[in-house]
């Protein structure tokens, strides 16, 4: 009943498709809501939908923050390496509008990933764990493993390969580690750059 809604990747104004978000670099419900608010404000000043569409095509989120790396065979690859805690990981999961294959893991920080089980059951079709906490994550996620398969990878290359095998046309591979990167990388930037490179390869 709202003036602005999101339907199949389009922002609709009173049911009419006006902004094609799927043609932009913006992913996630939070970006859709921001685009709706910006369009509503611009509309009040007479800015047309085609002008907003053109402007959004040139906008990209900051690197490593739900950054769309590419789309391959209908699968979107999202780099959210900045997600170094459970709140950021949960936010990334909540923001997705497509089925998710999650890549999660990294350094042991003593976090309790069990609190994510309900969210993963709702939004993930598969999980690949990696890094120093891979075994702990694998064990923690076993209660949902019957409905959400959980695989363990030896490194990031292996994790992406397994995630790609799980994903199908229309899915999202979400690289949102949920912890720091210091077991394998110098920081989340290096980790995210590495994910981007192997996804593009």
pLDDT tens-digit series, residues 131-172: 999 999 999 999 999 999 999 999 999 999 999 999 999 999
For residues 116-153, b (16+ Cβ closer than 10 Å) or e, as one string?
A: beeebeebbbbbbbbbbbbebbbebbeebeeebbbbbb
Tell me the CA distances in angstroms from 42 to 10, 137, 191, one per residue in order: 17, 45, 37
**Global pTM?**
0.84
Report the pLDDT value the prediction gives residue 30, as an integer from 0 to 100. 83
* pLDDT given at position 39: 96
pLDDT on residue 25: 87
Please check the confidence at residue 8 and state whether its pLDDT lies above 90.
no
Q: What is the mean pLDDT of residues 56-62?
A: 87
Confidence of residue 120 (pLDDT cuts 50, 70, 90): very high
Angstrom distance (rounded) from CA 2 to CA 152: 43
The string of DSSP codes covering 75-117 is EEEEE-TT--SHHHHHHHHHH--S-EEEEEE-S-----GGGGH
Place 126 in a pLDDT band, splitting at 50, 70 and 90: very high
What is the chain's Cα-based Rg? Answer: 18
The predicted pLDDT at position 45 comes to 96
Average pLDDT over residues 107-131: 95
Pairing of strands 4-7, 10-13: antiparallel
Mean pLDDT over 32-38 rounds to: 94
Residue 61 has pLDDT above 90, yes or no: no
pLDDT in tens, 71-87: 999 999 999 999 999 99
89 falls in which pLDDT band (50, 70, 90)?
A: very high
Backbone φ, ψ for residue 29 (5° rounding):
-65, -35
- Burial tier of 89 (Cβ tally within 10 Å: 0-12, 13-18, 19+): buried
For 131, phi and psi rounded to 5 degrees?
85, -170
Sign of CA dihedral 18, 30, 90, 75: positive
Phi, psi (degrees; rounded to nearest 5) at 105: 145, 175
pLDDT above 90 for 129: yes
Q: Check pLDDT > 90 for residue 28.
A: no
As a whole number of angstroms, the distance between CA 21 and CA 60 comes to 12
pLDDT of residue 29: 84
Which pLDDT band, with edges at 50, 70 and 90, does 16 fall under? very high
Identify the CA nearest to 126 among candidates 80, 87, 173: 173
Mean of pLDDT values over 46-62 = 91
């Amino acid at each position: 009943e709202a003036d602005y809604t999101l339907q199949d990747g389009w922002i609709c104004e009173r049911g009419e498709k006006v902004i094609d978000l799927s043609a932009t670099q913006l992913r996630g419900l939070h970006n859709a809501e921001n685009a709706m608010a910006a369009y509503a404000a611009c509309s009040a000043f007479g800015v047309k939908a085609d002008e907003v569409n053109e402007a959004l095509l040139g906008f990209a989120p900051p690197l490593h923050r739900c950054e769309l790396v590419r789309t391959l065979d209908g699968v979107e690859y999202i780099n959210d390496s900045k997600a170094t805690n459970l709140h950021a990981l949960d936010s990334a999961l909540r923001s997705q509008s497509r089925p998710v294959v999650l890549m999660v893991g990294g350094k042991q920080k003593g976090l309790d990933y069990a609190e994510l089980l309900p969210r993963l059951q709702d939004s993930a079709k598969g999980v690949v764990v990696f890094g120093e906490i891979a075994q702990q994550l694998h064990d923690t996620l076993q209660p949902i493993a019957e409905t959400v398969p959980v695989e363990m990878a030896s490194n990031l290359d292996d994790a992406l390969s397994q995630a790609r095998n799980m994903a199908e046309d229309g899915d999202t591979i979400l690289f949102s580690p949920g912890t720091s990167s210091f077991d394998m990388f110098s920081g989340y930037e290096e980790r995210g750059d590495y994910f981007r490179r192997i996804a593009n390869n």
